[in-house]
Amino acid sequence: MTAQLIDGNALSQQIRAEVAQRAAALTARGVKPGLAVILVGDNPASQVYVRNKVKACEDSGLHSVLEKYDAAMTEAELLARIDALNRDPAIHGILVQLPLPKHIDDHKVIEAISPAKDVDGFHVSSAGALMVGEVGFKACTPYGCMKMLESIGMKDLRGKHAVVIGRSNIVGKPMAMMLLAANATVTVCHSGTADLGAMTRQADIVVAAVGKRNVLTADMVRPGAVVIDVGMNRNDAGKLCGDVDFDGVKEVAGWITPVPGGVGPMTITMLLVNTIEAAERCAA
Ligand code: GUN
């Protein structure tokens, strides 16, 4: 193996220690940072995610509320809950776990969250703020990827070419914006891009966020490149794996994030950071 690992668990621990300090300082001033997590329905993966988010809050000294609702909840009922949480002074961040049941319009629900409490960074106002360089909340997964780059000394990316594979609203697009804000040259590809390898071989940084195994193989990576794997898939043996052919790519890349233990823990960590940030803005 030639690549060095970027350890998301270790970096998370470090950042969560800072989060705990900031939470304690706020609490001492009478403002306990609070996150509300809403889960509608019984998607098994979502149940695990929300449990982990609530536990992370408790571990770092944040107040958290988990609201679980039956899949039959109406859109109007959900909007009414968000309205109440928007006005609740004990709650600084609101997260509605996606996907929602089909009869509920995701976009309408996200837009109902006050931008001041949009700690997921999914509101149009947060996405727009990121695009024009104003203060807003950054989407947690790409924000975590940026922190991983920073941890290996890649904060200012001037002169670097980053290739993002994937163009989802929650990872690919905000990732591209954050890389641009860090002065990188950015190419955004997707699974239908012609000769994807020709693109990725030019990259100093590749971020794979498609949700499909082996999207990035060793022949597609420039020696020494940094590879960030956002994927969360299962291989034939049922083992968790990313979008990157880790065994092959680690022989070529300079740095690589593992799955599990890479981007995954960073997503929750950045949610905590955003919630603290929301509470600090509120207390300012
Ligand atoms: N579903 C998958 N990822 C996420 C996320 O980061 N936030 C929310 N709210 N739902 C998700």
> Each residue of 240-282: pLDDT tens digit?
999 999 999 999 999 999 999 999 999 999 999 999 999 999 9
Which secondary structure element, helix H or strand E, spans residue 40, and what is its range?
Answer: strand 34-40
Is the full-model pTM beyond 0.95?
yes
For residue 1, pLDDT beyond 80: no
**pLDDT at 162 exceeding the cut of 80:** yes
**At 140, which helix (H) or strand (E)?**
helix 140-151
Cβ atoms of 39 and 47 within 8 Å: the answer is yes
The percentage of residues in the chain with a pLDDT greater than 70, rounded to a whole number, is 100
User: DSSP secondary-structure letter at 100?
Assistant: P
The C-alpha R_g of the chain, in whole angstroms, comes to 19
Look at residue 284 and tell me whether its pLDDT is greater than 90: no
Identified catalytic residue from 97, 138, 147, 173: 97
DSSP structural state of residue 219? G
Beta-carbon neighbour count of residue 113 at 10 Å? 25
Mean of pLDDT values over 215-239: 97
Name residue 161's beta-bridge partners. 185
Per DSSP, the three-state class of 275 is helix
Residue-wise pLDDT tens digits, 114-142: 999 999 999 999 999 999 999 999 999 99
Q: How far is the CA of 123 from the centre of ligand 1 (A)?
A: 13
15 three-class SS: helix
216 Cβ neighbours under 8 A, 6+ residues apart: 165, 200, 206, 208, 227, 229, 243, 244, 245, 249
Q: Report whether residue 274 contacts ligand 1, using a CB cutoff of 6 Å.
A: no
Ligand 1 and 110: CB distance under 6 A: no
Report the distance separating Cα 215 and Cα 253, nearest Å: 15
Amino acid 190: pLDDT: 94
Distance between CA atoms of 27 and 35, rounded to whole angstroms?
Answer: 14
Contacts of 26 (CB under 8 A, 6+ apart): 32, 33, 276, 279, 280, 283
Number of H helices, E strands in the chain: 10, 11
Dihedral of the CA atoms 155, 54, 42, 125 (nearest 10)? -50
**Dihedral over Cα of 108, 113, 114, 120: its sign:** negative
Chain-centroid distance, C-alpha 73: 27
Q: Is 117 a catalytic residue?
A: no
Cross-strand partners of 69: 40
Residue ranges and CATH numbers for the domains of the chain are 29-116 (3.40.50.10860), 140-264 (3.40.50.720)
Report the residue among 98, 107, 126 best suited for mutation to probe ligand 1: largest number of ligand atoms under 8 A from its CB: 98
- What is the rounded average pLDDT of the residues 38-56? 96
Is residue 212 annotated as part of the catalytic site, yes or no? no
**pLDDT of residue 14 exceeding 80:** yes
Q: What does the alpha-carbon distance between residue 271 and residue 137 come to, in Å, rounded to a whole number?
A: 10
Q: Token pair for residue 6?
A: 């970027």
Is 21 catalytic? The answer is: no
Instruction: Tell me the pLDDT band of 211, cut-offs 50, 70 and 90.
Output: very high
pLDDT-derived band at 191 (thresholds 50, 70, 90) equals confident
Assigned token pair, 275: 């919630």
Q: What is the pLDDT of residue 13?
A: 98
The stretch 6-17 carries a mean pLDDT of 98
What's the gap in Å between 28 CA and the centre of ligand 1? 31
Token output for 250: 């680690």
Average pLDDT over every residue of 155-179: 98
